[in-house]
């Protein structure tokens, strides 16, 4: 199989991820539950995971690294902490449903959507500046669009939010492990990310980096402050109720170590090179429409395209039959499609990982060419 759906989940993982998970099942209970070896082993693994993440993402202390079950979980905590009924919230026009749905659930939220054109970072920054002038209770912005691979000007947006005293939540679902990302440098209130994409950890893991006060989303046992009916004030316990996913954390730790060994710059370079290679071939095919930043400056390792006269889902299915895994449709991000004008038909998205080769991209292109050719016969 040629797996080109890393933007959903990186299926191929470093071998040490599965090994660490299998070992954790047999040897670890949960952190902070006792001084016996299984709990201590869980504590040490969790602490290492927080530390590795803190170093990779410029977090001042490991307590500020919250282990979540995915980016959606982290985003929900972040928005629950900042957004109240009637809040004014600014978001980009490229947000995922993991942002839209939690905001929609809060009564009376005034949503300001920055719908600047694709790959136009200047216009995006200008519109954020304008919207922030009127103030806001919170801002939420995706770092990289999960549909188009568009790298938003997050540093500029973060600077503007800081200047206006507006807490910023960054959705780093597509950038964590691929692009430089620092809580300290951005001065963001929260950065949420999955463990199972660019960090090469298992599904069911994620991280929330906290730069401000928090409000728990879940309440329950933490192995600490047990007499209190309130959740502890201290992070990470405040946001981590219940038994930890130790196999997941052990796997995530190995994933993060792998990313740090490879280097995010190398990973980004590899994925962008593959996307460029795909784009060069796709643009030569009849009827293929690409959403690609020709300058390369705001394009990450995610690429959307469509084939004239063919339904995206049918192309996705035809590719699957030929052993190529891509994602077609709206990618849980109807707002991004609406911003770009692809909400009616959707797109087909390919997203390689560090394990994808140039040869696999070429094979995918040959498969697609075959599908287009076959469709022309009918």
Partner 1 sequence: MDVLLLMAGSITHAQRMAAMLENRGLRASIARAPAGVDPRGCGYGVKIRRAYGTQALDVLRHAGIKVRGIYQHDGEAWREVEL
* Residues at the contact surface with partner 1, assessed by CB under 8 A: 31-32, 34-35, 43-44, 46-47, 50, 61-63, 222-228, 232-237
Decide: 348 and 316 in contact? Cβ < 8 Å.
Answer: yes
Q: How far is the CB of 335 from partner 1 (least distance, A)?
A: 36
Which one, 234 or 374, has the nearer CB to partner 1? 234
Q: How far is the CB of 368 from partner 1 (least distance, A)?
A: 48
- Does the CA dihedral 276-262-58-169 come out positive or negative? positive
Tokens of 48: 């290492």
CB-based burial, 32-70: b 16+ in 10 Å, e otherwise: bbeeeeebebbbebbebbbbbbbebbebeebebbbbbeb
Nearer to partner 1, 227 or 261 (CB): 227
Return the number of the residue (238 or 270) whose C-beta is nearest partner 1: 238
Output the smallest distance, CB 67 to partner 1, in A. Answer: 10
As measured in angstroms, the least distance from the Cβ of 248 to partner 1 is 17
Contacts of 328 (CB under 8 A, 6+ apart): 312, 313, 315, 316, 317, 346, 347, 348, 349
Residue 229 CB, nearest distance to partner 1 (Å)? Answer: 11
Q: How far apart are CA 342 and CA 369, in angstroms?
A: 22
Specify the residue, 231 or 312, whose C-beta has the smaller distance to partner 1: 231
Residue closer to partner 1 by CB (options 233, 286) is 233
Find the shortest distance in angstroms from Cβ 283 to partner 1: 50
User: Please, which residue, 31 or 248, has the CB nearer to partner 1?
Assistant: 31
- Output 216 or 236, the one with its CB closest to partner 1: 236
Nearer Cβ to partner 1 (34/187): 34
Name which of 263, 266, 274, 217 is nearest 240 in CA terms: 217
**Selection from 141, 191, 118, 175 nearest residue 301 by Cα:** 175
Q: Which is nearer to partner 1, 230 or 344 (CB)?
A: 230
Whole-number minimum distance, CB 126 to partner 1, in Å?
Answer: 38
Cβ 169 to partner 1, closest distance in Å? 23
Q: Least separation, in Å, of the C-beta of 68 and partner 1?
A: 15
């Amino acid at each position: 199989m040629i797996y080109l759906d890393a933007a959903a989940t990186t299926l191929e993982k470093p071998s040490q991820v599965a090994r660490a998970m299998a070992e954790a099942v047999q040897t670890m209970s949960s952190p902070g539950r006792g001084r016996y070896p299984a709990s201590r082993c869980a504590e040490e693994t969790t602490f290492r995971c927080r530390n590795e993440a803190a170093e990779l993402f410029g977090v001042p202390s490991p307590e500020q690294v919250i282990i979540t079950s995915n980016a959606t979980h982290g985003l929900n905590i972040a928005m629950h902490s900042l957004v109240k009924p009637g809040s004014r919230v600014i978001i980009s026009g490229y947000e995922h449903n993991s942002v839209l749905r939690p905001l929609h659930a809060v009564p009376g939220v005034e949503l300001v959507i920055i719908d600047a054109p694709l790959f136009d970072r200047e216009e995006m920054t200008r519109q954020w500046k304008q919207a922030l002038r009127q103030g806001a209770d919170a801002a939420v912005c995706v770092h990289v669009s999960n549909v188009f691979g568009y790298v938003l000007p997050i540093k500029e947006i973060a600077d503007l939010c800081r200047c206006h005293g507006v807490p910023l939540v960054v959705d780093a679902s597509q950038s964590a492990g691929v692009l430089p990302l620092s809580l300290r440098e951005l001065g963001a209130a929260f950065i949420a990310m999955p463990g199972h994409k660019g960090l090469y950890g298992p599904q069911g893991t994620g991280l929330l980096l906290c730069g401000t006060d928090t409000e728990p989303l879940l309440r329950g046992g933490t192995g600490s402050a047990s007499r209190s009916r309130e959740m502890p004030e201290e992070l990470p316990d405040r946001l981590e109720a219940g038994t930890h996913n130790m196999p997941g954390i052990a796997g995530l730790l190995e994933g993060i170590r792998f990313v740090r060994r490879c280097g995010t710059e190398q990973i980004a370079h590899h994925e962008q090179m593959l996307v460029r290679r795909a784009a060069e071939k796709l643009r030569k095919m009849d009827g293929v429409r690409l959403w690609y930043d020709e300058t390369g400056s705001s394009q990450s390792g995610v690429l959307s395209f469509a084939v004239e006269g063919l339904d995206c889902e049918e192309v996705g299915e035809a590719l699957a039959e030929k052993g190529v895994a891509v994602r077609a449709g709206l990618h849980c991000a109807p707002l991004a499609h609406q911003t770009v004008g692809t909400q009616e038909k959707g797109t087909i998205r390919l997203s390689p990982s560090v394990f994808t080769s140039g040869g696999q991209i070429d094979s995918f292109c040959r498969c697609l060419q075959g599908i287009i050719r076959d469709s022309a016969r009918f």
